[in-house]
Amino acid sequence: MNMVSPWTSRDTLERNVPLIRLEDDADLREIYEFGKKLGQGSFGVVYEATHIETQTKWAIKEVCRPAAGSSTAKMLGHEINILKQVNHLHIIHLQEVYHTAKMTYFVTELCVGGDLKQLLQRKKFLTEDETRHIICSLADAVVYLHRRDIVHRDLKLENILVKNYLDEDDDGRINIKVTDFGLAVKTGGVGIENIIREACGTLVYMAPEVMSGRGYSQWCDVWSIGVVMYMLLCGEPPFVCKTKSKLLKEIMNKEAKFTQPIWATVSDAAKNLLTCLLKADPAYRMSANQLLENPWITGDTNVPAMPSNVLEMMRNHLEQKERAQTLGDLSLSSSEGTLDSPVLPVDSTVTDNGSHTETDSCSCPPSNSTQ
């Protein structure tokens, strides 16, 4: 069984998203009828809305226009520019943008199921099959982004929306949409000249190389996918400390643990995959493309999770060594000083959930230098 191809979108055309200026905020009410409030984030409120002429349903994010040149203004600009460039089944669709003197309005497709954080709070944890479908969809979206040199940098439960009411989907699958591209960045590729040094994101999902301030690349998104997968399966993050320095030390000294009772019901294949996604050294972390091809995702039980012969193992070892050296050069070439000011303050208000015992490490496939 191959679960990838039905959900894969490869449309590469940049979309023409209208950016419309209105004289007054009341003018938008003549185009859309605003309904119930769907949620509130750091920068705005999201409402359900109905396009009056067509009677189609949308979501509208209402954001107070920030001062020109401010970090918030740059984030809004990033989000608009990147969403104009993407067209994928599991990335939120931006329909149009309205500007007034005081506000900016993002009109996007409507997701009625809330976000994954809300879903997880209701269900406590998801089944392995539910998690597999979500992670496959998420990985497919990230592969799409990385192939376009876009790094999301803030993948987390709150930024993954649920498109459908679960009881309305015939096959019971949770159809997700990646959203909130305010921290996303477009690089020139994975070369040394495209190393990213700006620390930003949400602490519990943040890759260790982002915390360290020594430079990072697109593999930070894969770490975040690993954190999301871990949380979906057990309801808790894999690493939790009160400060960034303590969290970084915890990650660098220990691997992810599977001590909660729920892990006894999770397959070894899923736990092995998590260990590969949550490798502290990005040189040995699985790529998003490799994640899509993993037997746990594809459901192909005939494919061994590890290399089946010595030549394959030797080839993998050489590729790992080459990539480790490349990323080592990146780290050595980057600044040894303090972190740049984050675009978005890091959420460090998390509590310590206690100690865990060690687990055996897995033999992970080497990440490719390109996807």
Mark the binding-site residues for ATP, compressed into ranges.
61
Distance CA 103, CA 308 (A): 58
DSSP string computed for 185-221: EE-S-SSGGG-B----S-GGG--HHHHHTS-B-THHH
Strand-pairing partners, residue 263, are: none
DSSP 158: G
Distance CA 110, CA 164 (A): 9
154 is catalytic: yes
Catalytic annotation, pick one of 11, 27, 129, 154: 154
Both tokens of residue 202? 């949400």
Residues 330-338: contacts with CB under 8 Å, at least 24 apart: 330/192, 330/195, 330/215, 330/217, 331/209, 331/214, 331/215, 333/192, 333/195, 333/215, 334/195, 334/197, 334/214, 334/215, 335/197, 335/213, 335/214, 335/215, 336/214, 337/213, 338/213
Buried b (16+ CB within 10 A) or exposed e, 322-355: ebbeebeebbeebeeeebeeebbebeeebeeeee
Binding residues: 61
Helix (H, G, I), strand (E, B) or coil at 328: helix
Q: Describe the crossing of helices 128-147 and 219-234 by its angle, rounded to 10 degrees.
A: 170
Q: Which of 284, 262, 265 is nearest to 275 (CA)?
A: 284
Distance CA 208, CA 285 (A): 12
Distance CA 292, CA 144 (A): 11
Helix (H, G, I), strand (E, B) or coil at 338: coil
Q: What is the CA angle 134-135-139, rounded to 5?
A: 120
- List residues with catalytic annotation: 154
